[in-house]
Amino acid sequence: MSARVNRTTRLVRRMLSVAGLLALAGGAPAQAPPPQALSQAPPPQLLLFHGHILTMNPGDSIAQALAVRDGKIIAVGTDREILRLAGAATLRIDLNGRTATPGLIDSHAHIADGGVEELYHVHLGDASTVAEVVRRVRAAIARLKPGEWLQGDGWDEGKLAEKRYLAAADLDAVSPNNPVWLMHTTGHYGAANSVALRLAGITVHTPDPVAGTIDRDARGIPTGVLKESAKNAVLDLIPAPTPEQQRAGIMHSIELLHHEGMTAVKDPAIDRPIWNAYRQLLDEGKLKEHVCVLWFAGSTLASARAALQEILALPRPPQSLGDGRLLSCGAKIFMDGSGGARTAWLYQDWNMHSTGIDAGNTGYPAVDPQVYRQQVRLFHQAGVHVGTHAIGDRAIDWVVDTYAQVLAETPRAGLRHSIIHANIPTDHAIETMAELERKYDAGYPEAQAPFMWWIGDTYAGNFGPQRSLRLVPLKTFLSHGIRWGGGSDYSVTPLPARFGLWASVEREALLGTYGAHPFGTAESIDIHAALRSYTLWAARQLFLEDRIGSLEVGKDADIAVWDRNMYDIPARELRNLRCELTIVHGEVVYDAAHP
Ligand SMILES: [Zn+2]
Which pLDDT belongs to residue 344? 98
Which residues are paired to 295 by β-bridges? 270, 331
- pLDDT-based confidence at 40, cuts 50/70/90? low
Largest CA distance in the chain: 88
**268 CA distance to ligand 1 centroid (A)?**
6
In the reported structure, the alpha carbon of residue 492 is separated from the centroid of ligand 1 by a whole-number distance in angstroms of 7
Q: How far is CA 63 from CA 29, 74, 533, 569, 587, in A?
A: 27, 14, 20, 19, 20
SS3 sequence, 452-466? HHHCHHHHHHHHHHH
Cα 138 to ligand 1 centroid, rounded to whole Å: 29
Ligand 1 centroid vs 334 CA: distance in angstroms? 9
CA of 389 to the centre of ligand 1 (A): 7
Mean pLDDT of 65-93: 97
Q: Does residue 274 contact residue 310 with C-beta atoms inside 8 Å?
A: no
Distance between CA atoms of 494 and 259, rounded to whole angstroms?
13
For ligand 1, the distance from its centroid to the CA atom of residue 61, given in whole angstroms, is: 33
Distance 532 CA to ligand 1 centre (A): 21
Ligand 1 center to residue 292 CA distance, Å? Answer: 14
- For residue 490, report the distance from its CA to the centre of ligand 1, in Å: 7
For residue 594, count other CB atoms closer than 10 A to its CB.
12
Rounded to the nearest angstrom, the distance between the alpha carbon of 395 and the centre of ligand 1 is: 15
Would you call 215 exposed, middle or buried from its count of C-beta atoms within 10 A (0-12, 13-18, 19+)? middle
Confidence of residue 6 (pLDDT cuts 50, 70, 90): very low
Rounded CA separation 236/254 (Å): 27
Instruction: Give the Å distance between the CA of 62 and the centre of ligand 1.
Output: 34
| Residue 108 CA to ligand 1 centre (angstroms) | 6
Give the mean pLDDT of the chain: 93
pLDDT 10s digits, 425-462: 999 999 999 999 999 999 999 999 999 999 999 999 99
* CA 253 – ligand 1 centroid, Å: 15
Distance, CA 186 to ligand 1 centroid (Å)? Answer: 8
Distance 50 CA to ligand 1 centre (A): 39
Check whether 8 has a pLDDT greater than 50. Answer: no
Q: Fill in the DSSP letter of residue 548.
A: S
List Cβ neighbours of 24 (8 Å cut-off, separation of 6 or more): 15, 16, 91, 92
SS3 531: helix
Q: How many percent of the chain have pLDDT more than 90? A: 93
pTM (predicted TM-score): 0.92
- The model's pLDDT over 567-594, given as tens digits with 9 standing for 90+, comes to 999 999 999 999 999 999 999 999 999 8
